[in-house]
Structure 1
Amino acid sequence: MIARFHIISILFLCFFTIQAQDYSTKSIDSLKLLLEKSKNKNEQINLNHQLSEIYKQTNIDSAFVYRKNSIKINEQILKNQANNQELLLLKAKNINALAVLYFKKGEYKECLKYLLNANNILQSLTKKNGTDKYYNSLVKLYADLTAVYVNTNEYKQAQYYNMQTYLLDSINNNKFGMSEYYLNLGIIEYKQGNYQKSKDLFLKTLNYKKQYKIEDGLDRVYTNAGNACMSMGDYSSSLDFYFKTLKIDEKNNLPYEIAGDYNSIGNVYYYLNEFDKSIEYYKKHSEICVKIGNTDGLATSYGNIANILAESGKLSESLIYYQNAINILKNTENEKHLSSVYNNIGQSYNELKEYGKAFEYFNLSLSIKEKLNDKQGIAILCGNIADMYIQKKDYILAISYAQKSVKTAKEIGSIYDENYSYGLLTTIFEHLGNYQKSLEYYKLYKETNDSIYNSEKSELITTIEAQFENDKKQKEIELLNKDKKLKEFELGEKQKKIKQQRIFSIFVISGFILISFFMILLYRQYKAKQKANFELNLKNKEIEQKNIEITTQRNEIRKHRDLVLAQKNEIEGSITYAKRIQEAVLPISEMSRSILPEHFILFKPKDIVSGDFYWFAEINNKIVIAVADCTGHGVPGAFMSMLGISFLNEIVRKQEVTKANQILNELRIEIINALQQKGISGEQKDGMDMSLVVIDNSQFIINNYYHAQFAGANNPLYIVKSEKLKVKNEENTKLDELSTFNFQLDEVKGDKMPIAIHLRMNDFTNHEFELQKGDCLYMLSDGYADQFGGKNLKKFLSRNLKQLLINNSQLPMHEQHKVLDKTLSDWIGDGEQIDDITILGIRI
């Protein structure tokens, strides 16, 4: 088989970009001169900002210098004006712009750190003044957070901030921002290998922009649509989209984006085996990357040029380029790019028949692909490893990897990778003498190959490129014509001046003619002044009319604003009323809580109403206690919590079910029936996670211990004791132990399935154990452990929570409540709570 190398595509994310202006060296020099002479710090901030924006497209390192200078001066002024809200807003914008520079360099951790810093500032400002004043800054920040979370494969966070952007844009009827929402959804699907779905979303974005005549951002849509088509093997459509992008980026003079366009076009020609054209565009890409200081892009060029050399049989030379790419990528966070280079090095060693080294690099690449869930990368790697085993004549392993490659390629709709693997299977079964199987796979290989390389597509690709070149030449002709007309105009002006000089000389000789000419000139000026006064009166009337229109529009805007505020107050009032209803069904009162021994309840909803809830009841001398975390938070989560409490009352209080796992089994049936869940694809997966304990008080008088049961849906139970936990059904119970001094914490894990429809629908496990007086039980949702905070803005994590609980378990329960509350408050600091938080602690 012919060696197959993994080319590097550039995914064009929807960071807000500032269109490049035609700054000349003269304008840069003049800005620098103004900066040197300026004594005004506000002016210095603005000049540093302008220089950073200019250099962003041409010299990224210089852009960093001026951006950091702007932030430094900003902070100096804030030392004396700490509460100046305009300066705080300017600081947030400056930090956001610095984060964008880190994104362009591929340093995503630094980028995220600065974006979250900017978010903290904006959130503190919105708490004081509302969101309306900071709409533009918030939209840009949320869009940038979406982009960086996509690049770090944190898709839930990306979807969250994408939705926040969409909500703000919807309130302000920003059609451009609403169109970017669908583009971002497409990128998220693409990154997860769902190419057809991502293509549909990109085309939906394109139609939306065309419907509302939105030209801004079309280049990003075309680029990402091209990426989706290329991943699916539709090269003619992919090339068409890339050339449309290049046309827009050249018009707007965006070198960073133009470099990416050249790389994408080179990739298409690579897959079409037109290596001369491919390397032509790769070299254009690398030249711009060197010029603007884009090291990540330069690594892309090195890797792709190395692929061409390897395909041409120059394997030793290709390894040098691959090593250059690795040296750059090891200093960045672009793991996907690095894994592709490892794959390509493995291919080179495979061609050199150094199979040990080949497998070593294939394995390095495959581990990263699996970590990132890069399905197309996995399909390529499995195909390459299968090819290696064919050469080693280990056909059994070759079949295994080739079939895995086919399966993965079908999942993502990649015809190119599917075709390659069919070719491998054809070869394998031919070597094994199974000609019937070989023929079957050859037919599949031929079908997929014809769909990629048919003559119509080849002609279409040639037509697309010719059309682009023709448009480019037409523009050059237009520029030449404009230049010619300009020269003709200048020549005419010179001739006109000569003619005027001759006339003037004649008038000097003839005084009478001079006086006559002067009188005529005065008369014409008088007429011109009359005309000017008339036009001025017309302009004044137009201005007055415009002022009336502006006043009317302003009044209309105020009216709409007041309507939105009224609606907002009405909604908040409804939610506050819903909170009272929720509190009415929660066991908040002292009488309701009197059935529990010494205890505390830390209950902190993220919004007005909560998706977490706690519940307990006493039936037949048994106390049943539950803590649950419903899908979502706010109003949707509150609805689910009301359902959960209602069904628990029915199951325990009325039906008197007191076996822990049976309660969860019955509750799951009620939730599935209530939500009409069928388990079909695309259905909402609403439900809840829960820990539930049943304590039997009757055993203590007889045996001097309490008999307890526990069942959990995803959520655990923490038990702090002074001795080892005695478990009756140890074979079904998973324990994690943590000990300190005279105490140990046992974590009894719940089953890995929710109270809802799920792939796994086994009965919940019933854990039985003994409790002594003084033992502490802790039931909780995941909100506390998942809260971001601290100086590095990281999650609190369950291991830190466990240590906190065991360290303070000897304190009275109300003191433990204070410690947990204060620790959480200090951890969050100026940040925001991201989820509902519930911890229920009981001392036996």
Structure 2
Amino acid sequence: MRAKAIAITLLALSCVFISTKASQRDSLLNLLSASKGKDKVEILIRLTEVTSASGTDEALKYADEAIAAARKINDELLAKAYLNKGDALSDNYMDNEAIELYSKALELALKKEFKNYMLEAYKGISTSYFYIDSFEKSQHYANLLLKQAIEMDSVRYQAYAYFRLGKIMQQQGINDSALVYIHRSLELWQQLGDWKEIVSTFNGLGRIYYDLAQYDSALWCYRKEVELKERMGDQPFYLAIAYLNIGRTHIALSNFQLALEQYQKALRTFEGINDQEGIATCNSGLGMIYENLSQSTLATDENEANYLKALGYHKTALELFRKHEKKKEEGQTLQNIGNVFSRLATNRFVARFGEMWEDSLYKIKQSEILMAFDSARFYYNQALNIFDELHEESEISKVNTNLGSIYSWARDWDKANTYINRALQQARKNNLLYETTAALYAKGESLFRQGRYDEAELAFIECSRLSEKLGLKETLRYSYERLSKLYENRGDLVRAHAYFKQAVKIKDEIFSEKSQRIMAEMQTKYETEKKEQQLALMKNKEELQESIIQRQKLMIIGAIAGSFLILMVALLMFKMFRDKQRANIILEEKNALITSQKQEITDSIKYASRIQTAVLPTSTLISDVLPEHFVLFLPRDIVSGDFYWMTQKNDKIVLVAADCTGHGVPGAFMSMLGVSFLYEIVNKDNILQPSEILNNLRNLIKTTLSQTGKFEEQKDGMDISLCVIDKQNQKLEWAGAYNPLYQIRKGELFEYKADKMPVAVHLNDFKPFTNHEIKYQTGDTFYMFSDGYADQFGGSDGRKFMLKRMKETFLSIWEKPMPEQKEILYKIHMEWRGDENEQVDDVLIVGFRV
């Protein structure tokens, strides 16, 4: 059975502290003594809810009293009391008993047509059957819940039903259907604005994507979960669980520096609330990170140090998991320890034989190799016993793969093939993609060592394709290395070199020098903070003892100090006089320095302005391809966050009007990035569909600015209006991020609305931008612009100009020559602004006639 505790840990969003619940319990008991009838039943139900988390007996006592009291009043209250006891039983993992109570409530609700209680009963029965692994029955009641919720137009219970159906599909390995159901649930919770359920659903989606090895999608969901939890001020325990989810996903993607950051955040949080199981989980994760940290096979000393550090973390985790009787986690940690011992054995062979260590193993006796891996086999077999007992197919597949690899090193081909084929069969049968890649790699390794190159080649190629699809950089790297060696042995040096280059490229991506430095800094920072906390505690004890002695000293010192008080005051006044004189001199010097520095900064910004102007297309350049056009460009400061850009590619004209986050220097920096990225996307990558240009631009900005979607980080990006003009076919394609496009034909204005998301990280940044195709006629006039013109304050009442006035202005001038339109727009802007109002933002309007 899937442990219900795990589901609660990952999905629960809020609980009340025990101390708070205790006070609620006392208040309710005071009310109970004076209550009668319906009020008494309601208080007993509330008492059941309050006491359910802290123990079963007291909660069930109140639940039974509520049922007894409700029987004397009416059936509707009795149905509610049955549901209440069902919830208490379910909360305490007594799901078979809970189903009996929910069924009583359902029978009464159906008989008396208590429709709201029908919904609650269906929901409770489906949930309890799910937790005892009766998925068919759980699905039956979830479908009944969905049907009833649709009939009653209850969006909330439809959302519950879709979520439960999704979880059932996930447990049965039907992950495509699971995603459809849970995405539908998310849409409904978003419609209701229920943030707690939205967070829970993001967690559910993340787990499905993780199980599917779609790790980028899993990361996106987990980051949304963390962002919302931090915004809601969720309890530290649940935040730490969310950090762990992100961390383990980064481990699967071999992003070890990012994984380390998340695990250390989680560890600090768990230590702060003294959660031993959480501390154990973090230690296990940190062990896995250091276990996979080797930069070079030949760097044996560094690798040995990392493996020993990993071993320390894993053994700490094992001790804690055993203490708290966490069998699955104990098994996983035993397997992790086996992995480290296996790596240590391999590393010591490298230290002994050098670069040709693999070939040298053929000269060693089989018994010596098995002895080197003896500790690894010991821990693997312990883990396998636990996983067999728990029927954990995924973990069984992993251990079989690892044992098969050891026997492959030892040239015991029969045992190697038995373990590896068993692992591959289990992984494929249960659609375990990650485990399939591991077993395929082990199979390729074993066949390679046997000299069965054709079969090994097939295994490595299948492994590399699946690894690339899943984004498993580590496995992909090793597969390429093995294919390179295989082709070298065959004498196919061209393909050997090609695969070697690919392996090196991936290795550099994973283990860049920067990543290693960041990891070391973060580890040092954590250990330093911990030592400082320990020193602070010691210091507090010493200070407590010292305070008694100090009190006695102060009495003596006070008497002596009084004698010198008058003298000290006199000296202090004299010093203040001298200090004031010096301060005036220093202030004058600083004012001169500030003035000089300000001038230098201004000169630098002016120079930056010249650079920015140089990268923008000139009017002459635009006129060559769009003779009838104008650009009204009014930076608020010396440099601008707005920019325009134009290029011609394959007889098509690409025209852009963009508004970057901020103005002045920050905005100018973003605009320079925008111009650079647009040039790369259009001129180098030959992408000419506006929506695709924006999709690629968004990805480049997110990557370059390391935007992950965290709530606290900057969301720098740009709003943009981008069109591609095909004069030959009289067609204009357009896409927009917040900023629209206006088209005027024969005095009628058509507005094309932009997507409500920026070119940057965003809640909906998984959605592509919309592409609009417009068939234009000769004489049509188009306008693209930033928000600066419409947002300008002014006029007689100091209000914004607004888009409505912009539309009216465009309709009044569209037939005029383009240069005249520019002058009119400039004049209107300046008159609206007047002398009293400053320009609030950069202004950009691009107009053209086709």
Q: TM-score range by the shorter chain?
A: 0.3 to 0.5
TM-score normalized by the length of structure 2: 0.46
Higher relative contact order (CA 8 A, sep 6+): 1
